[in-house]
Amino acid sequence: MNKKELKLKNKWLQKLRKALKLLGEDDANDIIDSYDEKITEEFNELKNMQIVLGQLADVKIIAREIYIELGIDYQTKPKRSKKAAKATKPAKAPKPKKAKLNSKSMGVKIAFTLPNILMAFLAASTGLVSLTFYATILTLVIVFPFMATILLITYDLIVALGLFILVLGIIPLVGILCWFMAKFFEKLTKGMINTMSMVYTEHQPFPKLFEKTLLSKIMLILALVFASILGFGAAINLAPENSVIASNYTGKYRYTQVTELDLSDQLKNPTTITLNYSGLSSYMYTNIIEKTDPTLKFGSIKLVRHYNIKEKYKLETQVEVRDSQTSNGGKYWIYLSSMLPWNAIIGVTSFEKYEVSYNFNTNFSEVD
């Protein structure tokens, strides 16, 4: 029992003492002590002083019932001399019986058994959802420094700082959203537990369920702060034409790598050539532009790779030519592949573009 709850109890007992002013001091003390003991016992069970005191009758009603039981006229106070007052000792007031909370009948408890079982399963489900959101928050806390490190390794410092500000807004904001969702499902779970408990014991395990906390207010303020950071990060990553994000729609990238492949020795009287780009580092077919270039040597492929990660991360393109010879010529499949470094694989696949040029328009009918 903390100081605030002890103060509430003492204040209520003081009001009761004033209401019992017609009793002798010893009798009043007995009644006060009895109620003090009863309130303490109820508090140890409910853990909420306001609920305990709210279950008690008004002190005036308690005093009136005691006066009626003792035959004391509480409406008019008779005038007596000091001698008469000393000579007459008031009758000893009986100790109040311990009040018990109203309990549900056995029929009601049986009737609520099936709904409570269903509610228990539902409470377990919402509890798992709440734990999932809390686990997501923990994951975000672990991922954040890892992502920051990857950005510094993969991008130039100025680009990494811009992306870091963006991540600094996104990850905490998602974490705060997960926290509110977790608290919502946690309160939903506890509310169902309170409902089930009230059927059998009329006791709520979580009486202060819907009280607003300081932490919730702090989380709302932090959400506004990180939303502002997110907005600023989005602006600085979208405004420059060659920024990591803007380059996807402006077509302006920071660096370019040109690779030329001569496959003329491997292509003998081709009739059909199929180019396969699935192994290129971008893995994004929409970021691959294909065209014929008659200025190139027959059987040559020119790859122009546009990218935003550090310039030193140049890629070596691997080529595999497969053929199927027929009486009318050969069918060829050309597979192009390259591999990004381990630190650039995460989150950069859409930040590259390939321009593929070739000259296969001689001695065969089509190119796929």
Cα 349 from chain centre? 28
Q: How many CB atoms lie within 10 A of CB 257?
A: 17
* pLDDT in the model for residue 89: 47
* pLDDT in the model for residue 220: 92
Same domain, 39 and 152: no
Average pLDDT of the segment spanning 339-346: 71
* pLDDT in the model for residue 75: 67
Residues comprising the chain, all counted = 368
DSSP characters for 284-327? -GGGEEEEE-TTSPTTEEEEEEEE-S-TT---PPEEEEEEEEET
Q: Please state, in angstroms and as integers, the Cα–Cα distance from residue 282 to each residue in 221, 308, 312, 352, 367, following that order.
A: 39, 12, 17, 6, 22
Residue 83 pLDDT exceeds 50 = no
Same domain, 81 and 128: no
Mean pLDDT of the chain: 78
Q: What SS3 state is found at 229? A: helix
* pLDDT in the model for residue 363: 41
Q: What SS3 state is found at 19? A: helix
In a domain, residue 152? The reply is yes
In a domain, residue 183? The reply is yes
* pLDDT in the model for residue 173: 93
- Residue carrying structure tokens 């209401």: 19
Same domain, 57 and 124: no
Residue predicted with more confidence, 265 or 204: 265
238, 270, 289 — which closes off a domain? 238
25, 53, 87 — which closes off a domain? 87
In a domain, residue 103? The reply is no
Same domain, 271 and 221: no
In a domain, residue 292? The reply is yes
* pLDDT in the model for residue 326: 61
* pLDDT in the model for residue 85: 44
- The DSSP element (H or E) to which 106 belongs, if any, is helix 106-111
Cα 24 from chain centre? 61
Tell me the range of 48-57, 79-88, 306-315 where mean pLDDT is highest.
306-315
User: Each residue of 230-256: b (16+ CB within 10 Å) or e?
Assistant: beebbeebbebeebbbebbeeeebbbe
Same domain, 257 and 226: no
- Calpha distance 113→37 (Å, rounded): 35
Same domain, 71 and 114: no
Q: Dihedral of the CA atoms 355, 356, 357, 358 (nearest 10)?
A: 180
Residue 218 pLDDT exceeds 70 = yes
Residue predicted with more confidence, 342 or 317: 317
Same domain, 285 and 233: no
Average pLDDT of the segment spanning 176-202: 83
203, 238, 273 — which closes off a domain? 238
Same domain, 80 and 178: no
In a domain, residue 276? The reply is yes
Same domain, 135 and 190: yes
In a domain, residue 55? The reply is yes
Domains in the chain: how many in total?
A: 3
Beta bridge mates, 323: 332
Same domain, 258 and 313: yes
Same domain, 223 and 259: no
- Domain range spanning residue 172? 108-238
In a domain, residue 102? The reply is no
Half-sphere exposure of 333 (CA within 13 A, CB side): 6
In a domain, residue 280? The reply is yes
C-alpha angle 237/239/242, rounded to 5°? Answer: 75
For residue 44, give the amino acid letter: N
Same domain, 174 and 211: yes
Note the pLDDT tens digit of each residue in 37-50.
888 888 887 778 88
**Sheet with strand 353-358: strands edge to edge:** 255-262, 300-307, 353-358, 288-292
